[in-house]
Amino acid sequence: MSLLFRWGTYVLESGAGLDAMFKSHLGACRRDVRFITGRGFDPRMNLGLRMLLAAGGQGRRHITLLQFEEGSLSPSRRYQHLIDQNIKDLNDLIHDPNAHETKIVKMWSPDGRRISSRSAAEIFRSVNEFEGFTDIVLDVSSLPRSIFYPLMAKLLHLVERGGRRINLFVIVAENPDLDKQIVDEGIDEDADYVHLFRSGAERMATAEEPNVWIPVLGEGQSVQLRRLHDLIMPAEICPLFPSPALNPRRADDLVAEYQQLLFDGFRVEPRNFIYASERNPFEVYRQVRQTVLYYRAALLPLGGARAVISSVSSKLLSIGSLLAAYELKQARHDVGIAHIEAQGYRLENERVIMDLAPKSVLFGLWLLGECYA
């Protein structure tokens, strides 16, 4: 199957530009919007919904709230008061209780296995579930990667193959300083492949068909990177660094943080470093896509290679890596997404987080629909 460069041209807006885009889009004609978001403690949870509702326009605004069944022992349960406040704020925004529904995402099976990514992929099974809607807006601000990776891929697949012209948007409230305040707690012993992106990557790598690993790097993820490496056993590693970034030295700081791990532990060659803008997921998409295709072509005479993508960085960068994996998978390339989960999350300083939340910037990606007609 030929590989389309589907997001070679794209629509990406942020801040006031995103607000103006939605006002123009929703005001052009009647739009019936299904808004999908997570029920979580992150104070950014309702920023996207508030922006959407303020944009005005005619038509339905229906909210699908994803509730996570994390179990009674999840460290995140200590922040129930923040979840309750977010739900109160959401109800104050929408007024009509019939305008929203809740869908359950099961994180664990009865026998104690992680099933979060599989459960997320099964939230929507058919494009018929979007009957009557002109637009879908997925807000990943309060969704973990294990949830929004398969969910976003499933929505892309359903909308593309459903035979209806539906606009698909993904939005996220970005704030790297706030992200650093939310820390994984109880990291799983073993990494795994995300449902829908297992592909052939979970097979044992061989000399004839090695694994090429592209980790998208963020701060404080040494344990996660080691366990991902143990799963993938890559022959080649091409780490992606966020550059340019708001902090001009962020990429250099990451090299310094992971110096021993990358050079002594993983034997990474500096010539393999990849760089993409911290605030442009489509650039991450382009760089990851280009790297996978390069290795596929270079190693094809020797039997080919399998690509594995991981993101231990911001959600904005993670979205870009998902887009690359989705496009490559649709073209039947051997690509997987490896991920490691945590039992829950710890807030370093709740007061600091609440102060930082209003300083977050909303980013919006228009992935499918009228603008690509």
Q: What is the pLDDT along the chain (373 residues), one digit of tens a residue?
A: 457 789 999 999 999 999 999 999 999 999 999 999 999 999 999 999 999 999 999 999 999 999 998 776 677 788 999 999 999 999 999 878 778 899 999 998 888 889 999 999 999 999 999 999 999 999 999 999 999 999 999 999 999 988 778 999 999 999 988 998 998 888 999 999 999 998 665 666 565 688 999 999 999 999 999 999 999 999 999 999 999 999 999 999 999 999 999 999 999 999 999 999 999 999 999 999 999 999 999 988 888 889 999 999 999 999 999 999 999 999 988 899 999 998 888 899 999 999 999 999 999 999 999 999 8
Supply the pLDDT for residue 202. 61
Residue entry with tokens 């709230």: 65
**How many residues are given for the chain?**
373
- Which sign, positive or negative, has the C-alpha torsion 84, 359, 141, 11? positive
Beta strands in 43-123 (DSSP E): 61-69, 100-106
Q: Is the dihedral of CA 119, 140, 364, 251 positive or negative?
A: negative
CB 195 within 8 A of CB 121: yes
Give the pairing of strands 61-69 and 33-38.
Answer: parallel
- Residue 343: the pLDDT is 84
- Contact indicator for 228, 194 with CB cutoff of 8 Å: no
CATH architecture observed for domain 11-176+350-372: 3-Layer(aba) Sandwich (3.40)
User: What is the Cα–Cα distance from 369 to 357, expressed in whole angstroms?
Assistant: 31
| Nearest-angstrom CA–CA distance, 37 and 157 | 19
Computed on alpha carbons and rounded to an integer, the radius of gyration of the chain in Å comes to 20
The arrangement of secondary structure in 189-340, i.e. its CATH architecture, is 3-Layer(aba) Sandwich (3.40)
Which residue, 253, 181, 252, 242, is CA-closest to 217? 242
Rounded to whole angstroms, the Cα distance separating 261 from 106 reads: 34
Q: Which of 38, 41, 370, 20 is nearest to 49 (CA)?
A: 38
The predicted structure's pLDDT at residue 207: 55
Report the phi/psi class of residue 88: left, alpha or beta, with left for phi > 0 and alpha for psi in -120 to 50: alpha
The DSSP string of 25-48 is: HHHHS---EEEEEE--S-TTTTHH
CA atoms of 175 and 366, how far apart (whole Å): 20
CA distance 264 to 246: 29
pLDDT at 204: 60
- Other CB atoms closer than 10 Å to residue 39's CB: what's the count? 19
Alpha-carbon distance of 172 to 48, in angstroms, equals 7
Q: Give the tokens for residue 138.
A: 């997925």
CATH 3.40.50.620 positions along the chain are 11-176+350-372
- Give SS3 for 267: coil
101 φψ region: left (φ > 0), alpha (ψ -120 to 50), beta (else): beta
